Amino acid sequence: MEQRRTSEKTSHRWVDIHHSTHPVDYDGACQHMDHCVEALKRGVGPEVLWFLQHPPLYTYGARTNPSHIAMAHHTGLPVHLSKRGGQLTYHGPGQRIVYCMIHLRHRGIGVTEYMDVLQQWIIRALSQCGIDGVVVPGFVGVWTAFGKVASIGVRVSGGISSHGLAINVREGREPDYPSRSRGFGAIIPCGLEKTSVVSLSDLDPGLSLQDIDTALLATNPFHDPGSVREMV
């Protein structure tokens, strides 16, 4: 797992920023998240924000409609039961995923507040890229005027979060993106039958993953601004 690492200091601890430069398989990602969570529980590891992409695959939460899961299996892409909350979704090249291993209990943050923190983080990052994002009452995630652009699915164990957020940046524009019959177009994303899924590049074709990464780091809600240091 090739990663770049920096750390950002909070009033609680250093927050490691991991950045994987190649797509990470889902099972390996889950194992790494579990390792980070266990280290936090034992007090021997830092909080972590992990920036990555997955190869084309689907994930779903335990309460997903079985008929929706069957749609994903029909595509031939890998389908994974996830420990996170939420419904069926697609992950693949051109999507920025940030997995957040944060000690919510130490920070005094409840799950509902944490979900709002993640949504507002995405909205602030999009604003830095010149795109207006909004929250739709009654739903989780972030929308633009043209459709849903970001999803959130988290797990909290022992007061520590894992999994996190996914923003469609250049989804559908990368060379190894599957056909429309095997990406979002093959499923009912997040169980929302009448919701369009869009990418930021649909609104601004020049927008890159690096652009959204820069915006996410600049608006990161888990650190004090200006406290970034390199780690070896």
What is the SS3 assignment for 155-183? EEECCEEEEEEEEECCCCCCCCCCCCCCC
pLDDT score, position 9: 42
Q: How far apart are CA 48 and CA 37, in angstroms?
A: 9
3-222 adopts what CATH topology? BirA Bifunctional Protein; domain 2 (3.30.930)
pLDDT score, position 226: 35
Q: CB count, 10 Å around CB of 164?
A: 22
Q: Which regions in the chain score pLDDT beneath 50?
A: 7-12, 173-175, 177, 179-181, 225-232
Q: How far apart are CA 27 and CA 205, in angstroms?
A: 32
Residues noted as catalytic: 190
pLDDT single digits (tens) 68-116? 999 999 999 999 999 998 889 999 999 999 999 999 999 999 999 999 9
Q: Where are the domains of the chain?
A: 3-222
pLDDT score, position 3: 54
